[in-house]
Amino acid sequence: MHLRKYKAFIGRQWKGILLVFWMAGFARAQQSLVLTLDESLAIALDKSFRIQTLRQSMITAERNLWAARAGYRTSITTTFSAPIYDEGFKLIDVVEGNPVAKQFGSYQVSGQLDLKQPMPWIPFGGADMTFRSQAYRLNSWTPNRLDPNVQDKSTKFFTYLGLIVNKPLFTINDLALGLERAKLAYERQSRVFKRQELDLVYSVTDAFYRLYRFTQTVDINRQKVSMQQDIYNTTFNKFKAGLIAEVDAMQAEVALLQYRNDLKNSETMLAEQESMFKQTIGIPEETRVRVITELELKQVNVPLDKAQLMAMQNRSELVEKQISIEEQKIIIKQVDARVAIEGKLSGYYNFSGFSDPTFVYGTDSEALFRSSWEKLQKTPNRGFTFSLQVPLFDWGRNRAEVDAQKAILKSTELDLSDTKVTVIREAEDAVRSVANAWDRVQMLTKSQEVATKSLDINLKRFANGDITSTDLARATDQTNQAKINYLQAYVDYKLSLGELKRKTLYDFEKDIPLVEKQTSDVKFK
């Protein structure tokens, strides 16, 4: 089952759990919730703090990629100034007298619209093209130079249509590199998300079986207390009847007290594990939880060569390291470009026009615009500029920075090689762990059967008076310890299978991959 199908399956489990929550009144304290492993995983993959944090990281990478791609598209910017008002006084020189203060001022309403189209696909650094449209109306009044007592008033209208192109030369394409880095970051986060999602599955599985083991340990200890209570009662009655010595009755009482203490300790450990389990899967602390599972055993055939092959194909750490290498190559390009020869070619072609200066003050805007537009169509303007920046000497600073980044690249490449070795080794360790856990659980299955039969015989012997309560307590301890050892071995076997899934991203129990084949538009060299 691919991870997506697996999540769909446990999603159906989660819907059923929600129905249970609603029917039982989830908000009430002391509620008891009974969960299987699949139901626990469904909750964790939807509600846990860890999965919510992973989703936010995924959203961050996705939005950054969207923003980088949006940088290739046309952007539209408009600017309005309504109004620009300026009024004051200035000193005017007059004949045969001191300067006098006369009022001046202006009132302007303007607007500008820019349509900018980046062109990163153009070779040698890309380019950008801007179409600009601008217009403004200006009313002004100022003292006449010949007669300061007279104000010159004017109304003007300005229109502008232009095309501006900027083309960097001999330099890197920052916009294209930015998009490439965003793609790499998104690809990395996608891999991290899937890997940590499977890590969460393992963590929940681990917490689930630990909680189950503690639950069963409490049950075993309760049985020990119940059985020892019966033994103590029988021993005490025999002592009162004078059939056994007082010391036998005292030993039975000590054992009973010890078993009660063991029960109390195991209940404390169960409560702690339950709280940890609830935090792991993301349910409220006040909800009581109990886990159930079938103690079924099935040997899983795990060929070592297949486990190593699946690990090399599926482990996202290898792709993450390759992404780091590509990112470091981009950094080297950017650092090296700081002292590269850099040129810039700029060109423009525009039309601009002013309204007829003979128009009287206060002429309506329509007439002013028409006059300016007629002038604009007759007055083209054009030009271009080429500039070149050539670095001459920096005392080797940039070369040192480039060498430092190349050393980081080499370190990352070595890290990738080491990770490949680690992936193969971890797959081998996981296969060996599964085999060892299976052998141990098989051995302890027999041990538990033998201990159970031995306890049945000793119970009959104790009833017949052939053995003391101490002998029976020892046999009981051996049986209970055999149960606990088997339970621990069963949990270890299940966890070893979970670790194998995590290290190979392959379910050998069902013989299916846990992740779909990855596809990406990122090109790796």
For 247-297, write each residue's pLDDT tens digit.
878 888 888 898 899 899 999 999 999 999 999 898 888 888 888 887 777
Following CA atoms 48, 51, 55, 58 in sequence, which dihedral angle do they give, to the nearest 10 degrees?
A: 160
Instruction: With a cut of 50, say whether residue 193 has pLDDT above it.
Output: yes
A 10 A CB-CB count for 300 gives: 16
Helix orientation angle between 397-463 and 304-314, rounded to the nearest 10 degrees: 140
34, 202 in Cβ contact below 8 A? no
Element (H, E) at 475: helix 469-504
Spell out the CATH class of 3-66+179-222+256-327+405-513. Answer: mainly alpha
Average pLDDT value over all residues in the chain: 81
Q: HEC string of 346-410?
A: EEEEEEEEECCCCCCCCCCHHHHHHHHHHHHCCCEEEEEEEEEECCCCCCCHHHHHHHHHHHHHH
Burial class (CB in 10 A: 0-12, 13-18, 19+), 387: exposed
Tokens of 445: 């299955």
343, 170 in Cβ contact below 8 A? yes
Q: How far apart are CA 523 and CA 511, in angstroms?
A: 31
Looking at per-residue confidence, does 334 or 54 come out higher? 54
Note the pLDDT of residue 4.
54
Lowest mean pLDDT among 48-52, 100-104, 202-206: 100-104
264, 258 in Cβ contact below 8 A? no
- ∠ CA 344-346-348, nearest 5°, is 180
Note the pLDDT of residue 525.
37
| φ, ψ dihedrals at 74, nearest 5° | -70, 130
Q: How far apart are CA 184 and CA 173, in angstroms?
A: 17
256, 477 in Cβ contact below 8 A? no
- For residue 384, give Cα distances in angstroms to 161, 348, 388, 390: 17, 6, 14, 20
Tokens of 496: 């070893």
Q: Which residues fall within 8 angstroms of residue 71, CB to CB, at 6 or more apart?
A: 118, 175, 178, 179
Q: Position of tokens 């060299």?
A: 525
Lowest mean pLDDT among 55-69, 70-84, 93-107: 93-107
Instruction: With a cut of 50, say whether residue 138 has pLDDT above it.
Output: yes
88, 55 in Cβ contact below 8 A? no
User: For residue 438, how many C-alpha atoms fall within 13 Å in the half-sphere facing its CB?
Assistant: 13
Going by pLDDT thresholds of 50, 70 and 90, the confidence category of residue 516 is low
Instruction: With a cut of 50, say whether residue 56 has pLDDT above it.
Output: yes
101, 89 in Cβ contact below 8 A? yes
Mean pLDDT of 221-230: 86
Note the pLDDT of residue 3.
52
Instruction: With a cut of 70, say whether residue 16 has pLDDT above it.
Output: no
Element (H, E) at 161: strand 151-169
Lowest mean pLDDT among 88-102, 166-180, 235-249: 88-102
Note the pLDDT of residue 97.
66
